Structure 1
């Protein structure tokens, strides 16, 4: 170990492993990512492991991933944007969203991607029985205005056949930034900021909603109006599916409860976590989704959440 407590490279802790990767971020104590990926590797019979790296030391991380046995890394806050200039290339998803949560090797090159987009997509396609009836060709909707909102917009527009996407958020400046970014990347022309309940009443109902905000009750007038906009859309005659991205400390949120009461199908945020993680391992192991132990990781994540609620 180095004097600062970080893993040095090469590290004796990885000597017994055939391959290893990292989870790079700060803080990451609550993350289930290492357990998630260990479940996959164990079930595939691989002597692999993902090592937590709670750090803000970018230079040290860049040294670590050059270890010949390192397959790459998961990247979380606050590094998702800062890591991009240090990569050799980006996938179309990583470039379009402007944030990298996954690094994989392509020969000697380090490539960044964004699997959050796949997490959103698969949460719907793996859980909604009839996408054609529920959300294809209908407006989509995103609640929130940060990086997760960009990933959600990308998934709705590019994967889920939503020609229009409503943006609902307490902060108009954040919405403007999301629209500006998405337009600059070629997938923002159908975005529409819905700022009042009256405006929502006059619009066609969405078929797929992605909620990307923390589970706090609205306090300010701007927050209350954003909640009224959400309720106006939930009360439309067409009932679709909503993905509640917030899952920590519990996936059962106020917005999820409102949606369920209004007759919507609620998809828990753990689904997005699971499918974005499976996409990471698809890059790292080269195995297709069909060969990965999907139900095993779902069971493990469910058990961990049950412990957290005790």
Structure 2
């Protein structure tokens, strides 16, 4: 795509991601590579939006005629207040990561949970029947938890620094269409240790361990996990966090957040363009962007 063509894209051809900070995002490289591969006349950018400017940024989607955007930390929950409509699944999750502009009407969706499940499936990991320990209770954790319930998890234990927020997610799971046995455990508690010792899948949905704080981990003692447990970190920068490195060194299967990023992005295409994005093209471009930035 030449500079001249990009300068004349016109309305309905520009997309992007809203976040703060967002410079680290691999999404622009991922989506722009997919546009080129598909012969599409479109461009995807990164828009750094401080929380106090979120309302103006959302209004700008209408004003500038953007086709749509992705939404990332810290705006996934707050952005819902500025949309014309929120899809039922996104409302249940309580977070939006994809917005579509349909003639000035902004509709919010959430593809995080589906991207998470698809990324497990491609590694041959079945959720059904597993005891899952979920680290965190924010927007990403909510999407993951509800989709774990849909996929037939036997039990979900939520461990979060703020117990009240974890209990809020627990209540949502109780009201879900696919209710699941669920519990809350405080960080470092005996209940948390017992849950980890029984876990078939541990999912980190916190930012702990994300660059530049790569020496930190949300789980101090990986030795609590049983053989055969799967450790999933939704972080993709770095590709191997301290949590994943320590789990790998114990012989456990580990999965980083790159696949979730790619698959949730490919699922966003279904709302924007009516078809799934080219997964392998997107994966290669995201990985190249991450390696170039490291």
Q: TM-score, normalised by structure 1?
A: 0.79
User: Which whole-Å deviations, capped at 9, do the CAs of 1:37-62 have from their partners, x for residues lacking one?
Assistant: 11111111111112332234234323
* CA drift at 1:99: 1.0
Kindly state the Cα deviation for residue 306 of structure 1 after the two structures are TM-superposed.
Answer: 1.8
Q: Secondary structure at the match of 1:227?
A: coil
Matches within 5 A, 1:29-178: 29-56=23-50, 57-67=53-63, 69-106=65-102, 109-128=105-124, 131=126, 135-158=127-150, 160-178=151-169
- Per the TM alignment, residue 77 of structure 1 is displaced from its structure 2 partner at its CA by 2.9
User: Which ranges of structure 1 fall in alignment gaps of 5 or more residues?
Assistant: 1-11
| Correspondences of 1:279-294 after superposition (within 5 Å) | 279-287=267-275, 289=276, 292-294=277-279
Equivalent in the alignment of 1:15:
8
Equivalent position to 1:256, from 244, 257, 260: 244
81 and 197 in structure 1: CA distance in 2 versus 1, 3 angstrom threshold:
closer
Counting only pairs closer than 5 Å after superposition, residues 140-289 of structure 1 correspond to structure 2 as 140-158=132-150, 160-183=151-174, 190-195=181-186, 198-199=190-191, 200-201=193-194, 205-213=198-206, 214-215=208-209, 227-228=220-221, 231-232=223-224, 234=225, 236-237=226-227, 239-248=228-237, 250-287=238-275, 289=276
Other structure's SS at 1:140 match: strand
Distance 1:218 1:15 in 2: 45
- The question of whether the paired residues in 2 share the 8 Å contact of 1:21 and 1:65 is answered with no
Which is higher, the Rg of structure 1 or of structure 2?
1
**Could you tell me whether the CA contact under 8 Å between 1:167 and 1:175 is conserved in 2?**
yes
The farther-off stretch of 175-184 and 250-259 is 175-184
Change in 2 beyond 3 A, CA 1:59/1:193? closer
Q: How many residues align?
A: 280
* Coordinate RMSD, CA, aligned: 2.8
2:282 paired with 1:297:
yes
Any conservation in 1 of the 2:67–2:100 contact (CA below 8 Å)? yes
The answer to whether the Cα contact below 8 Å between 1:21 and 1:51 also exists between their aligned partners in 2 is yes
CA contact (8 A) 1:88 1:111 kept: yes
